[in-house]
Structure 1
Amino acid sequence: MGTETAVDGTTAVETSSSSSTANSIKAFIAGGFGGVCAVLVGHPFDLTKTRLQTAAPGTYTGALDVVKKTLARDGVKGMYRGMVPPLLGVTPIFAVSFWAYDLGKNLVYTFTPKRDAPALSTTEVTAAGFFSAIPTTLITAPVERAKVVLQVQGQGGAGKQYSGVLDVFKGLYKEGGVRSIFRGTTATLARDAPGSAAYFAAYEVAKKQLTPKGKEPGDLDLGAIVVAGGLAGVAMWSIAIPPDVLKSRIQSAPQGTYSGFADCARKTIASDGIGALWKGFVPAMARAFPANAATFVGVEFSRKALDKLF
């Protein structure tokens, strides 16, 4: 009997481990697919936000002025300038984010073995979301750096300096090595850790609220996923704008302009006032709903397809 129990226990552990690995792989792939959907829908909004955040005072009168001037100068393709870095980087970024979120949930279960209920509480989901930003930042920071540099090219009549993403990384490395490529990492983490906590928590809460009585959250239709995903994006960006402004300024400024995150905050407020920390709020919030609705539609439907495969 003792031997049989040991074998059965080992089998259970192996089965649980196999299931956990499969879920991690699915979370990784689905997250990457969702990220591609987000970039295709949201990049014009993101470009508008970044240009508002980094332009000299008086360059633009608002978000619509950014769009008008960009279209006049570069046409529709100008609204997609700088899209290659996030499109190339978004698969690993979102893949790692959703994988890390899945890992964060597993860590919660590991540290709470004697649970009253299997479902995670909102606080536990928030903690898992916060954790997801830590490994993701290692990929997000350099991709965001290249994206911002490309997005602000030509702003204020400046000439074109880089021909593409590889040229950006080559130039940044010449400028200051790996450190230059990863400039803005602290600001990225300051934006994404609380932002991701709000992001995943809002999505799970919205899903529960939208689930009809007698149904499971996994059975939601397309419309409900769109609403829950959009609200998740709004929740994230409602708190992420100030650190995002500082991140954009740090990553777009000439080398030596700021000594760090706190120095950028101090100089930004001193020169442009506290209101500068909310520059780009309108395009960010305009992007938040459709881009993140697209993200979770991509994630949910690709995850269901993967569940049928393995």
Structure 2
Amino acid sequence: MTTDAPDPPPSPSTRQRYAPATDSPSRNVPTSPQSSRSPLHRLASTYAALPNSSVNAFCGASAGIASGIVTCPLDVIKTRLQAQGAFRPRTLGRPSRQVYQGLVGTAKVIWFEDGVRGMYRGLGPMLLGYIPTWAVYMTMYDFSKDYFYPRMENKWLSRISASIVAGACSTLATNPIWVVKTRLMAQVSEHALSDHRPPWQYTSTFDAFRKMYRNEGIRAFYSGLAPALLGLTHVAIQFPMYEYFKQRFTGLEMGEATAQGEDVLGILGATILSKICATSATYPHEVLRTRLQTQQRSLPSHDHEEISFRGGHRGRGHYTRPPGTASSDGMINIPRYRGVIKTCTIILQEEGWRAFYNGMGTNMVRAVPAAVTTMLTYESMRSLHQRLKREEELRYAEEP
């Protein structure tokens, strides 16, 4: 490491942790025979030598996996509440009875119909999606900050711009995975009421990809992309506010840590406050995205599963089900929701403005622990990298 000033002398405790250098100066490995045989020590040295871009990707992926495992049941409940009403028939009378009511009520219905597997339905694509989503996001956010900071005097504007760029990259890269995840989470038991049963049934993540591509085409994987991009307003609020609160509580920016480690309480406070603000301000876009992602776009009039669709026609003598619900009259599906504005209009007319906040309480219960798990994991992994890097630099400074 090249510096203007000479390296400070290592502390006695640091000297005791490492043995003297061996006769082979070309090998940048621990010099103690015991350390050189330790896989854990070699792994730590490799991790410390990683560049920041790779560290950001690895830390982001690890944070997303931890968050997905912890919060999957709550995500299933939230998705069921958001999708409720999307599959009901367009009758002339009153709307169908709501099956999912609140956090506890929805959990009871899912547990009764599907058991523990129902609570973790969609975990596979969730984990599959979190790895690239957070890896791309954290990498691009750190890179974008380095790009915008010298070019913008206002740090708030720099962070907002960086969060939007990072969010757009991760959304475009991973939207197909999230569509499959949402479909699987919205899928109910075959014993559920037909009014709330979606017009598809998947047995696995691979089966969902296969059937969606075969029956609906590549465009189905980008259903809900417009409201997903509207969701960039969420990260544009969350991450700048997180950095603001973390600086107020700890004096450090995102990804930074002191030599003593990360301030857990400061990270907790910053994460909770930023997530609550962002979720409260931008929640309706999640309902729009769920409705568009759970809607089946089209099917051929004749398929081997004998499932086909017909638009919900108005007028005398027409008692057909709406698009997105099962029928067997041999007609091709006409999508019920078309675009963000049309979807907003339909939901507002048929269900009222409260439908835009279906599942918000559950989402808040899910989103806050998910954000806490994500940021604590990310900050801890970054702090570990910085600590190991400092130790490696001290060790190399001792070598002649």
Task: Give the TM interval when normalised to the shorter protein.
Answer: 0.7 to 0.9
Q: Does 2:268 align with 1:226?
A: yes
Within 5 Å, which residues of 2 pair with 1:43-122?
Answer: 43-56=72-85, 58-112=98-152, 121-122=155-156
Cα contact 1:188–1:244 (8 A) shared by 2: yes
Q: Does 2:175 align with 1:141?
A: yes
Q: Which amino acid aligns with 1:254?
A: Q
Using the TM superposition, give the Cα deviation of residue 24 of structure 1 relative to its aligned residue in structure 2, in angstroms: 2.0
Query: SS in structure 2 opposite 1:98?
Result: helix
Using the TM superposition, give the Cα deviation of residue 43 of structure 1 relative to its aligned residue in structure 2, in angstroms: 1.5
Distance in 2 (CA, whole Å) between partners of 1:128 and 1:223 is 25
Q: Does 2:209 align with 1:169?
A: yes
Using the TM superposition, give the Cα deviation of residue 54 of structure 1 relative to its aligned residue in structure 2, in angstroms: 0.7
Query: SS in structure 2 opposite 1:75?
Result: helix
1:190 aligned partner: 230
Cα contact 2:100–2:106 (8 A) shared by 1: yes
> In proportion to residue count, which structure has more helix?
1
Q: Which amino acid aligns with 2:210?
A: K
Within 5 Å, which residues of 2 pair with 1:217-296?
Answer: 218-219=257-258, 220-255=262-297, 256-296=335-375
Which of the residues 239, 250, 255 maps onto 1:211? 250
Distance in 1 (CA, whole Å) between partners of 2:114 and 2:71 is 18
Using the TM superposition, give the Cα deviation of residue 243 of structure 1 relative to its aligned residue in structure 2, in angstroms: 0.6
Using the TM superposition, give the Cα deviation of residue 137 of structure 1 relative to its aligned residue in structure 2, in angstroms: 0.8
Q: Which amino acid aligns with 2:215?
A: E
Cα contact 1:203–1:228 (8 A) shared by 2: yes
Task: Identify the structure with bigger relative contact order (alpha carbons < 8 Å, sequence gap 6+).
Answer: 1
Using the TM superposition, give the Cα deviation of residue 285 of structure 1 relative to its aligned residue in structure 2, in angstroms: 0.6
Percent identity, aligned pairs only, is 28
Distance in 2 (CA, whole Å) between partners of 1:76 and 1:201 is 37
2:57 aligned partner: 28
Using the TM superposition, give the Cα deviation of residue 212 of structure 1 relative to its aligned residue in structure 2, in angstroms: 6.7
Using the TM superposition, give the Cα deviation of residue 127 of structure 1 relative to its aligned residue in structure 2, in angstroms: 2.1
Q: Which amino acid aligns with 2:65?
A: V
Using the TM superposition, give the Cα deviation of residue 280 of structure 1 relative to its aligned residue in structure 2, in angstroms: 1.0
Cα contact 2:60–2:137 (8 A) shared by 1: yes
Distance in 2 (CA, whole Å) between partners of 1:236 and 1:46 is 17
Cα contact 1:208–1:217 (8 A) shared by 2: no
1:127 aligned partner: 161
Q: Which amino acid aligns with 2:173?
A: I
TM-score, with structure 2 as normaliser: 0.66
Query: SS in structure 1 opposite 2:373?
Result: helix
**Structure 2: runs of 5+ lacking an equivalent:** 1-49, 86-96, 298-334, 393-400
Using the TM superposition, give the Cα deviation of residue 110 of structure 1 relative to its aligned residue in structure 2, in angstroms: 4.7
Using the TM superposition, give the Cα deviation of residue 126 of structure 1 relative to its aligned residue in structure 2, in angstroms: 2.0
Distance in 1 (CA, whole Å) between partners of 2:281 and 2:271 is 16
Cα contact 1:132–1:196 (8 A) shared by 2: no
Distance in 1 (CA, whole Å) between partners of 2:142 and 2:159 is 10
Cα contact 2:59–2:381 (8 A) shared by 1: yes
Q: Which amino acid aligns with 1:145?
A: V
Q: Which amino acid aligns with 1:131?
A: V
Larger Rg: 2
Displaced runs of 4+ in structure 1, greater than 6 A?
Answer: none
Cα contact 2:256–2:379 (8 A) shared by 1: no
Distance in 1 (CA, whole Å) between partners of 2:275 and 2:126 is 17
Distance in 1 (CA, whole Å) between partners of 2:245 and 2:340 is 33
Distance in 2 (CA, whole Å) between partners of 1:123 and 1:226 is 24
Q: Render the CA deviation track for 1:271-291: whole Å, top value 9, x for unaligned.
A: 111111111100111112211
Cα contact 1:133–1:196 (8 A) shared by 2: yes
Query: SS in structure 1 opposite 2:257?
Result: helix
Query: SS in structure 2 opposite 1:163?
Result: coil
Distance in 1 (CA, whole Å) between partners of 2:184 and 2:134 is 21
TM-score, with structure 1 as normaliser: 0.84
Which of the residues 170, 181, 188 maps onto 1:154? 188
**Structure 1: runs of 5+ lacking an equivalent:** 1-20
Using the TM superposition, give the Cα deviation of residue 234 of structure 1 relative to its aligned residue in structure 2, in angstroms: 2.0
Using the TM superposition, give the Cα deviation of residue 61 of structure 1 relative to its aligned residue in structure 2, in angstroms: 2.4
